[in-house]
Structure 1
Amino acid sequence: MTARPLDHIRVLDFGQYLAGPLVGMMLADLGAEVIRIDPPGGPRLKEPATDMLSRGKTAVTIDLKSEGGLQVAREFVARADVVIENFRPGVMERLGLGPKALRDINPRIVSLSLPGFASNDPALADLPAWEAVIAARTGQFTDMGLNRRLMGINPSFSPLTLASAYGASFGAMALQFALAARDRTGGDHIEVPLASALLEGLVYNCEQIEDYPERYKSPREVELDRRAAEGLPTDLSFAELEEFLDPFYRTYTCADGRGFYVVAGSVKTHPRRVLETLGLKDLADQLPDFDAYLDTADWPDEWSLRNYPVGARDRARVSNAMKKAFLTRPSHEWEALFGSAKAPGTAQRFSKEWLADPHALASGLVLEVEDPRHGKMQQMGNVAWLADDGAALVKKPGPDPDDAPVSTILAEPPRSGPPAASGQGWLEGLKVLDLTNVIAGPTIGSTLARFGAQVTSVQPTEPSVDPWNTVVFGLHAHRGKQSVLLNLSSDDGKQAMRRLIDSSDVITMNGTDEQRDALGLSAEELAAINPRLILVQLDAFGGPARGPKSDHLGYDDLAQAATGVMVRFGGGMATPEEHAHFGTIDVLTGYCACVALGAALLRLQKTGKGGIARAALAAAGNLIQAQLMYDFEGRAPFDEPAGRAAMGWGTFYHCYRAADGWMFFAAPAEEREALRRVSDLASMADIPEKELPDALADHFARQPVDYWQKAFSGSSSTVMPLGSLHDTRDAVLQPESAGNIDLMRGTFSVIRHDMHPMGRWCDLVAPNAVRPERARIVIPGPMPKYGADTRSILRSVGYADEDIDAMISAGSAAESWSAKYLPE
């Protein structure tokens, strides 16, 4: 077998449950030697998911509370590169394996801690940070999407483990960036609080813009505003709600009764492609189609086909025509037609169906692993990979305890090396050329900028995507970049692009293999330009191998539909709903692409070889369902909480209403023992299971949330009041104009950019999920107005001012898309 990207890296995985083991799995999937350190009795999570998370790892049982066990652990640390743990803050220190102790043993060790809340947060650090407790405190379950708000459903519960998914991807990327910079910056300790990662992952649900123009509000937002202004209730039925969905962002029923989800607004060619694929060309020709970057005062009609949303005048007739058309064919035929036409759409699926889907299996987005406990097991595939790493499709099953080569490891000499200077960014000096748009792709560059990378965004002279996606979302996704506008269909534009590529280390793009190759960025062409060049590519349905849908277009919501998220959240095939939050999968895919880049940088350092680092929306769709994303003969039913009535996962992991508001009660490890310790509830510990939920709900309703928090304090069980994302944001706002922004004070941090070049203030989550002890994190600067840096960037690659003037005059380059930063 050929060398793997991380085959020179040894990882000690002390992680339990989900977040820590996920990081270990990601690194093992990239070729690292990962040793799972089990406590006596084995892993805490006694579910088949643990076998999936342990694939490719070896295991050894160590009692860290014994002197002999602790000494073995120390010997392992002396011969390792990475340590991962996700205990409560202080646990590793008490065991004698805190960050300082680790570096005393091995100065080059890079350690990762994944606590639920920040270790410096006096109010939250010591809480039992179960996944749903983190979600409840951050605000994930409150005001959960426009649909639920219009239906008056609040709170809502979701079993998707977003905090662990975001935190694990941050952790895996940070470890690799730190390892790649280790000769320059030395060993390091990194903390990634899962709640901080969750807020960053849900950044677009926290973004707030002063005097937000009405033109960007969807029909659902307009209806919410109307009902609030008129004092009307929000009590829509699901059927009524559907009529407030935009025609190009909704599910349609096909001839076979299956839902088909379309996401085709905003990109100027996509709505027309959808209508023409449906046989509705005449309708497309009747609809207004003009420059979306005009201010509404200059619009020649009330809406444009290039601009989300569809106007009120035409919304019903477009939706009705599309409903009728979809009923003429079964969903699988529409999938093939949409894919061929490059029109974004997909059939709705259950997760169980996705795990057996021909494309998922052919592409490696789902893998079949021969597991010793469960037989042939379908598992989520890699979330990050290198395109030429054929071994990405080959997975060893999870280990049996004590199969790690202990004696072989201990026979090695300890690793050594002097500590290096701190205070530098891991990616300082890295030049990144960003060819991406919308959310997922641009997230790569904005994430890299916090670690010191220099990022240049290249966009076309004529925008292909509307200002809602490019400016409103770009306020976060394009932070920390410079902006140049080039016409890549012109000879001069192509030449300028070639010069930019020649001066870059990394290129990022979001697009299919067909789109990549059309840009001249295939693996062969990259190697010819510069064998050290790395392309970071993400798309919707690509995988480590080719499959029938590899070149199908897609967006966040389509990955949700294809992988089962929408059917689960909505409660069934008749009522699928997008999972509540803008960019749920988009942002995560950008982080996963950074994980892939980390592996590419480590391989480059070892071999001098660049190549293509990959991630996909569908793979990130797997990741947010990681605890559920497996199947095998005899598997327990897929009966996780689903639908609008879901409030938790059983009696002891559930949202309850207290006397003064909603709270989440988490006692999954103790269950009835947790009740016996509380005098008010002790008598309920022996109530029959069928009667307990109602009885417990009745008791919880008699006292305020604070009472129950105190009652369960000091144990592995806890009560958490349900926060909201907006309240979390507003409680930690720091104005940019005040200066001295503290990124790492407590768990959450949000900046009010009140000196923004847009001319409006905007609130954006601060880049604080990754917290190194030694390396530097920077707050990326504001997104520039598109084209603002065209002249300076072209000068930097050798163009004289008169050449630049000629390129702008000829349309090969441009300095602006619109008169205003944000068209109104």
Structure 2
Amino acid sequence: MSTSLEGIRVLDLTRVLAGPYCSMILGDLGAEVIKVEAPGGSDDTRKWGPPFQEGVSAYYICTNRNKKSITVNLKSKKGKEIIYKLVKRSDVVMHNFKTGTMERLGLDYKSLNDINPRIVYCSITGFGETGPYQHLPGYDFIIQAMSGLMSITGDEQSGPQKLGIAITDVLTGLYACIGIQSALIEREKSGKGQMIDLSLYDAAVSSLINIGSNYLMSGDVPERLGNHHANIVPYQTFYSSDGEMVIAVGNDRQFSSLCKLIDYPELSEDPLFKTNPDRVAHRQQLTPLLQKAFSKQPTAYWKDLCHKEGVPFGPIQTINELVEDPQLKARNMLLTALHPKAGEIRMIGSPLNLSRTPTSLFAHPPEPGEHTTEILDALGYSEEEIKRMKHDQSI
């Protein structure tokens, strides 16, 4: 079976989340991804938990399938030699070391571009390679705080809240994929690689979308609205008689349908609620009326009725409910693989559905250095040289 990125080799010196998430996507699309760690393994997520399955971390598993693993001491002469040989044969180099680290190691873009002018070099840092914050460490929680995301998440009572996942890492990983593939496409025309300078801070700020635009247009500092929407009403959570659910009315037609199904058709003709700007202006009057109606029936009742009438609706599902969702099963979003240490493992799949070159699960998340001998053998190192490098801890 052919794959979208067949023939592309990625040298992945990243760890934790943003970089590994990107390289996993590239691996899902068929690129050969070589994960580089220090001898013994240096990706911190290998130790993040519980949960562990036979000593293998669930956190590590979530972003490291479809990769090979080699361990290399980047500070040793032999280690650098190995990396340089791999760079000559690679299309992409990724790293997420602090600004200045790669220069000290002799693995910066200029040095590697001299070895392979076609190399696409992706740097992922907290704040970027330039600017007054360039040397600060960047963790997702810090970035969520500084980027404005936390200031608009939560409500007046809760105070600022972070998202339940490391969203800025995920966003940056996605941007890295876009940048890398764009650079590879451009390389077909120019024959030259280039450097991509990505920061978690920039990626997080880019995600402010309409909230950022609202401020830039009005000058009004946005408030925390909890599960309400700044520009659309009703677009929020409601309590049913047995749980919580989301109603997301995107236009006046949908609002009219909603009013009919809750037996208040006159609401859609009320001058206070007739158009979306009216509803935004009078959300305090409208929300209690809708809540009173929704509290009379269970979530399943409203789900069936809303789906029938074309009103956007979603139950608030817990993760254990989510994994039983027939829609996800139909879309192959839950994968199972055999791991040499953990045994059978379950993973969330790829949302990328390509008609001719689909993504696939090629390989389990590798153990540290699982493919070191295989990769070094392909580079021309003898069995004796490999043993010697292991002895002096170059690999």
- After TM superposition, is the score higher than 0.5? yes
Q: How does 1:697-736 map to 2 (within 5 A)?
A: 697-713=291-307, 717-731=311-325
CA distance in 2, matches of 1:521, 1:748: 39
- Match for residue 799 of structure 1 among 365, 377, 381: 381
Report the alpha carbon displacement of residue 693 of structure 1 after superposing the two structures with TM: 1.7
Q: 1:756 touches 1:762 (CA, 8 Å); kept in 2? A: yes
| 1:499-518 C-alpha deviation (Å, 9 max, x unpaired) | 12222121111134412322
Q: 2:92 aligns with which of 506, 509, 517?
A: 506
Deviations 1:206-263 (A, max 9, x none): xxxxxxxxxxxxxxxxxxxxxxxxxxxxxxxxxxxxxxxxxxxxxxxxxxxxxxxxxx
**Aligned-pair CA distance for 1:602:** 1.4
> What's 1:614 paired with?
197
Match of 1:446 in 2: 24
Residues 807, 657 of structure 1: alpha-carbon distance in 2 compared, 3 angstrom cutoff? same
Compute the TM-score of the two structures, normalised by the length of structure 2.
0.85
Alpha-carbon contact 1:526-1:611 (below 8 Å) kept: no
- Please give the residue correspondences for 1:434-583 in structure 2 after superposition, counting only pairs within 5 Å: 434-461=12-39, 463-464=41-42, 466=44, 467-469=46-48, 471-542=57-128, 546-571=130-155, 575-581=159-165, 583=166
The alpha-carbon deviation at position 683 of structure 1 amounts to: 4.2
Aligned residues of 1:451 and 1:777 also touching (Cα < 8 A): yes
Contact 2:241-2:299 at 8 Å conserved across structures: yes
CA-CA distance at 1:462 after TM superposition? 5.2
Match of 1:752 among 332, 336, 346: 336
Q: Secondary structure at the match of 2:388?
A: helix
Tell me if 1:639 matches 2:212. no
- Matched residue SS, 1:630: helix
Structure 2 equivalent of residue 199 of structure 1: none
Residue 499 and residue 633 in structure 1: after superposition, are their counterparts in 2 closer, same or farther (change >3 A)?
closer
Residue of 570, 584, 605 corresponding to 2:167: 584
1:585-600 correspondence runs (5 A): 585-600=168-183
Q: 1:758 to 1:648 in 2, by over 3 A?
A: farther
SS at match of 2:27: helix
What is aligned with 2:52? none
Paired residue type of 1:757: P
1:385-444 deviation per Cα after TM superposition (whole angstroms, max 9, x unaligned): xxxxxxxxxxxxxxxxxxxxxxxxxxxxxxxxxxxxxx5211101111111111111112
Contact 1:440/1:587 (<8 A) preserved: yes
Which residue number in structure 2 is paired with residue 694 of structure 1? 288
- 1:592-625 Cα distance to aligned partner (Å, 9 max, x none): 1010011111110010010112322112212432
Contact 1:656–1:663 at 8 Å: present in 2 too?
Answer: yes
Given that 1:667 and 1:674 are in contact with CA atoms closer than 8 Å, whether structure 2 keeps it comes out as: no
Residues 647 and 590 (structure 1), Cα distance of their counterparts in 2 relative to 1, 3 Å cut: closer
Contact 1:662–1:721 (CA under 8 A) maintained in structure 2: yes
1:427 aligns with 2:5: yes
Q: Deviations over 1:135-186 (max 9, x none)?
A: xxxxxxxxxxxxxxxxxxxxxxxxxxxxxxxxxxxxxxxxxxxxxxxxxxxx
AA aligned to 2:359 is I
Equivalent position SS for 2:94? strand
Separation (CA, whole Å) in 2 of partners of 1:586 and 1:634? 28
Matched residue type, 2:149: V
Contact 2:73 2:79 in 1 (8 A): yes
Opposite residue 496 of structure 1, the aligned amino acid is: I
Q: Tell me the equivalent position of 2:365.
A: 783
1:663 counterpart SS class: strand
Point out the more displaced range, 650-659 or 550-559: 650-659
Q: Is the 8 A contact 1:676 1:683 kept in 2?
A: yes
Aligned to 1:350: none
Q: Partners in 2 of 1:617 and 1:424 — Cα distance?
A: 33
Question: What secondary structure, in the 3-state scheme, does the structure 2 residue paired with 1:577 have?
Answer: coil
Q: CA deviation at 1:471?
A: 4.4
Contact 2:40–2:368 (CA under 8 A) maintained in structure 1? no
1:169-568 map, 5 Å? 424-461=2-39, 463-464=41-42, 466=44, 467-469=46-48, 471-542=57-128, 546-568=130-152
Q: Contact 1:432/1:455 (CA < 8 Å) preserved in 2?
A: yes
Is the contact made by 1:567 and 1:573 (CA closer than 8 Å) also made in structure 2?
no
Aligned AA (1:609): K
8 Å CA contact 2:84–2:115 kept in 1: the answer is no
2:262 paired with 1:682: no
CA 1:783–1:605: 2 relative to 1, 3 Å:
same
Question: Does the 8 A contact of 2:126 with 2:138 survive in 1?
Answer: yes
Residue of structure 2 in register with 1:226 after alignment: none
The change in CA–CA distance for 1:507 and 1:575 in structure 2 (over 3 A counts) is same
1:574 Cα deviation (Å)?
9.4
C-alpha displacement of 1:493: 1.5
Instruction: Give the superposition deviation at 1:577.
Output: 3.1
Gap change, CA 1:446 and 1:435, over 3 Å in 2: same
Q: Distance in 1 between matches of 2:237 and 2:154?
A: 18
Q: Which amino acid aligns with 1:703?
A: Q
For the Cα contact (< 8 Å) 1:430–1:453, is it kept in 2? yes
Structure 1 residues 756 and 632, CA, compared in 2 at 3 Å: closer, same or farther?
closer
Alpha-carbon contact 1:709-1:718 (below 8 Å) kept: no
String of CA shifts for 1:248-286, please: whole Å, max 9, x gaps.
xxxxxxxxxxxxxxxxxxxxxxxxxxxxxxxxxxxxxxx
Deviates more, 1:769-778 or 1:789-798: 769-778
Cα contact 1:557–1:578 (8 A) shared by 2: yes
**1:499 aligned counterpart, secondary structure:** helix
Q: Report the Cα offset of residue 463 of structure 1.
A: 4.7
Deviation at 1:532, TM superposition (A): 0.7
* Cα deviation digits, residues 769-796 of structure 1 (max 9, x gap): 1111222322131112101211111111
Please give the alpha-carbon distance, in whole angstroms, between the structure 1 residues aligned to 2:217 and 2:175: 32
Q: How does 1:664-683 map to 2 (within 5 A)?
A: 664-670=246-252, 672-678=255-261, 680-683=263-266
Question: Which amino acid is the alignment partner of residue 162 of structure 2?
Answer: E
Amino acid at match of 2:141: D
Query: In 2 relative to 1, CA 437–784 (structure 1 residues): closer, same or farther, beyond 3 Å?
Result: same
Over 3 Å counting, the alpha-carbon distance change for 1:473 and 1:710 in structure 2 is: closer
| Residues 439 and 473, structure 1, Cα contact 8 Å, conserved in 2 | no
**Cα distance between partner residues in 2 of 1:631 and 1:648:** 15
Please say if residues 14 and 20 of structure 2, whose CA atoms lie closer than 8 Å, have aligned partners that are also in contact. Answer: yes
| CA drift at 1:448 | 0.7
Distance 1:718 1:571 in 2: 23
Aligned equivalents of 1:602 and 1:712: distance in 2? 44
Deviation of the 1:687 alpha carbon: 9.0
Q: Separation in 2 of the partners of 1:672 and 1:504?
A: 54
Match of 2:51 in 1: none
Are the equivalent residues in 2 in contact too, given 1:444–1:508 (CA < 8 A)?
A: no
Tell me which of 235, 240, 259 is aligned to 1:658: 240
Relative distance call for 1:510 and 1:683 in structure 2 (3 A) is same
- Report what 1:109 is aligned to: none
